[in-house]
Structure 1
Amino acid sequence: MVMGSRASLLGIGTAVALLATQAFAQESTSRLDQVLERKVLNICTTGDYRPFSYRPDGANDFVGIDIDLGRSLAKSLDSEAVFIQTKWSDLLADFKAKCDVAMSGISVTLPRQREAFFSEGYLVNGKAPIVRCDDVAKYQSTEAINQPATRVVVNPGGTNEKFARTNLANAQIQLFPDNRVIWQEIAENRADVMVAESVEVKLQEKLHPGLCAVNPDQPLQYGEMGFLLPRGDVAFKAYVDQWLHLAKSTGEFDRIFDANMK
C-alpha cells in the first residue's frame, strides 16, 4: 500500500510538472506578446451586424459597439486596431488564419467553443422575432412562427440560420445574403419574420418604422456574446478578460453601448 501510494504521488507530481511546463511554453509564445511586439491587433469582423459591427457600402471604416471595443482593447495594448472583414460562414476559418481576436456581436456556442476560446461574456442576449407591426400579435411564440405559411428570412452561415433550421423547420425559410438590408424583405412584404438577437431587433425597430420587435426582453432562446480568442492561449484570454472587466467597471462599456444604440 505504501509503495502504491508513493507511485500514485509520483504520477501526480509528474502530471503537475508536465502541466506547468506546458503552461510556461504556452505563455512564452502567447498572442499577447506577439501583439505587443508588432503593435497591431488584427480583429475579424463581419461589418453587417448593427449595432455591433457595420460598414455601409462605400465607407472606409466600420462602426459599432464591437468596433469601439476593439479600438479600446488595441489602445490598452499600445497597438493599432486593424479590422479584417469576414462573413459569418467563414468566421472561424478567417479568425484562425488571419486574426488575433474576432469581435462582431458573436454568440457563444459550444461548436465555436470547440475551435476557439471565448472571452468572458459581455452581453446577455437571446433570439427574438421582428415583424411588421400589424403582425405582432400573430407571432408571439416559436410555435406560432413555425407554420407552413410563415416566410422566415435569415442571413446565411450564423446562429440566426441555425435557430431557424432547428426551430422553424415547418416554415418557409428564405436565405438573404446581405444582413445590412435584410429588414427590407419584411418591410416590403417579401418575408414575414426574422429571428435575430434581441439587441439587434430593438435597434432595427428604431431604424425601420413599421417594423416591431416581438417581446425582445423575453427572448425565444437564451444567449450570450463574447469575443473569439485563440484556443489554448491562457495569457491572452486573461488579458482580454481583465480589460473587459475594467471597461465595464469604469463605465466605458456602457458609454460605448449607449452611443451605438441611438
Structure 2
Amino acid sequence: MKASHIIASVALTLSSFAVADQLDDILEAGVIRVGTTGDYKPFSFHDGQNYSGYDIDVAQYLGDQLGVKVEFVSTTWKGLLDGLKEDKYDIAMGGITRRMQRQLNAEQTQGYMVFGKCFLVAKGNAGKYDSLEKVNLSSVRVGVNIGGTNEKFADKNLPNASFTKFENNLDVPKAVVAGDVDVMVTETPEGLFYEVTNDKLEAARCEEPFTRSQFGYLIPKREQGLLNAVNFAIDEMKLKGIDKQLMQKNQLIAEQKFNVVLTAADGKKVDIIQAVKDATGLSLIESKSVVENLPAVLREKLPKAEAEALEKALEAAGATIEVKPVQ
C-alpha cells in the first residue's frame, strides 16, 4: 500500500473518532449533567436540598426530550467555563449572559430572553438611585456577585462607588434589605422578581435598563451535536408556548389578567342586580345603577380562572358578560 493511502486511511480513522460527540455519551449514559450556580433567582436556586427556577425547569424539559435523567452539578460564576473544560458537566445553565469572551471559550446556544442591567434597592429608593451618575459616588455602597457580568458592569460604569463583593449572589439582596449596601447591580428579570416577591425591595431602571443582552446556555467547545439538540429544544419550547408557561410559573412574566364587563341585562332584572351585588360587593342601590348604565366594568385585572367563574355566575342570572384581556 502506498504511503499516501496509509495516511489517508489513518486520517479517515481519526475523523471517525472525532465525530463521536458528547451527545452520544449523554445518550449512552442516560444522564445529562447540568452545571448551575443555584444562587440566581428566578433562574437557578438551591435551597440546600433541591434546585428550582426557570432554567432548572428547562433542564428537566431537555432531559425529557432526550430521554435521559438530569443531574445538577453545583458550580460558581467564576468557574462556569472551567467546569465545562474539565468535563464536570455537559452544559451550564442558570441566567448566563451571552458574551464574546464566553463564545471564544465555549459554544453558546441561541438567546432565549432579552434583558438589561439595572439596580435593586430598598423600597422607596428607586428615584434616589435611578441613574449611573447618582450611584457612581463614593458615598453609595454597591453590592455585586463575584465573577459574573454584574461585577464587570459595576467595575466599568461605577468606578467611584464603594464596593462590597459577594461570593453568593443570594446574599446581595439580603444585604440591601439589611441596609449593608445601598444598591445591588442586577438584571431586569432578577430585579423585577425581587420587587414582586419581597415588599422591602424595589427595582430601579428595570423598565429602561442600561444595557441590552440575552441569556443563553454554555456547551463545551466544538460539541456541535449537543449544541444543535439544545437549540432545537429551545425552538420547540417557543413554538409550543412552553417557554411562556415556565416563565409565568417562575414569575418572569406577569400572569395575563382579565376585566369582566357587563354588556347586557336581558334576564330577570332583580336576579341580575343581586348577581352584580355578589360579584362586586356594592350595595343593592349601587348594583341597580350599574345594571341600568351599560356597558359596565364589574371587576378588573382578575386571573383567567376567577374571571371565567364570575362570567358563569352572572350569565346564570341572565346577564350578558364579556371577559376582556387587560392590554
TM interval, short-chain normalised: 0.7 to 0.9
Distance 1:246 1:77 in 2: 13
Quick one: which of 194, 197, 204 aligns to 1:204? 194
Q: 2:63 aligns with which of 66, 69, 74?
A: 74
**What residue in structure 2 maps to residue 228 of structure 1?**
218
What is the number of residues matched between the two proteins?
A: 240
1:193: which partner in 2?
183
Query: Aligned partners of 1:134, 1:240: CA distance in 2, in Å?
Result: 41
What does the per-residue CA deviation read over 1:181-233, in whole Å, with 9 as the maximum and x for residues that have no partner? 32121122111001111100100112221211012121111111000011112
Query: 2:52 is matched with which residue: 63, 69, 77?
Result: 63
Q: Which has the larger radius of gyration?
A: 2
Which aligned pairs between 1:1-262 and structure 2 lie closer than 5 A? Answer: 25=16, 28-57=19-48, 59=49, 61-97=50-86, 98-261=88-251
Q: Judge which range, 241-250 or 125-134, deviates more.
A: 125-134
Could you tell me which amino acid in structure 1 is paired with residue 59 of structure 2?
G
Structure 1 CA distance, aligned partners of 2:198 and 2:247? Answer: 20
The verdict on how the C-alpha distance between 1:25 and 1:257 changes in structure 2, with shifts beyond 3 A counting, is farther
Deviation by residue 1:114-144 (Cα, 9 ceiling, x = unmatched): 1000000011111111112222112111122
Task: Please state how far the C-alpha of 1:161 moved relative to its aligned partner.
Answer: 1.0
Q: Distance in 2 between matches of 1:148 and 1:26?
A: 57
Distance in 2 separating the partners of 1:184 and 1:240: 34
Query: Shift of residue 95 of structure 1?
Result: 2.3
User: What is the CA-CA distance between 1:27 and the residue it aligns to?
Assistant: 6.7
**RMSD across aligned C-alpha pairs, in angstroms?**
1.9
What residue identity is the alignment partner of 1:40? V
User: 1:27 touches 1:235 (CA, 8 Å); kept in 2?
Assistant: no
Match of 1:65, as an amino acid?
Answer: Y
SS at match of 1:194: strand
SS in structure 2 of the partner of residue 44 of structure 1 = strand
Structure-1 separation of matches of 2:156 and 2:127 = 23
Q: Report the Cα offset of residue 71 of structure 1.
A: 0.8
- TM-score, reference length from structure 1: 0.87
Where does structure 2 lack aligned partners over 5 or more consecutive residues?
1-11, 253-327
Change (3 A) 1:208 1:96: same
Structure 1 residue 72: Cα displacement = 0.7
Structure ranking higher on relative contact order (CA contacts 8 Å, 6+ apart): 1
Secondary structure of 1:138's counterpart equals coil
Give the residue type in structure 2 aligned to 1:37.
Answer: E
Aligned to 1:17: none
Q: Structure 1 unaligned segments of length 5 or more: list them.
A: 1-20
Distance 1:152 1:37 in 2: 47
Structure 1 residue 170: deviation in Å?
Answer: 0.6
Which structure 1 residue ranges, 4+ long, deviate > 4 Å from structure 2? 24-27
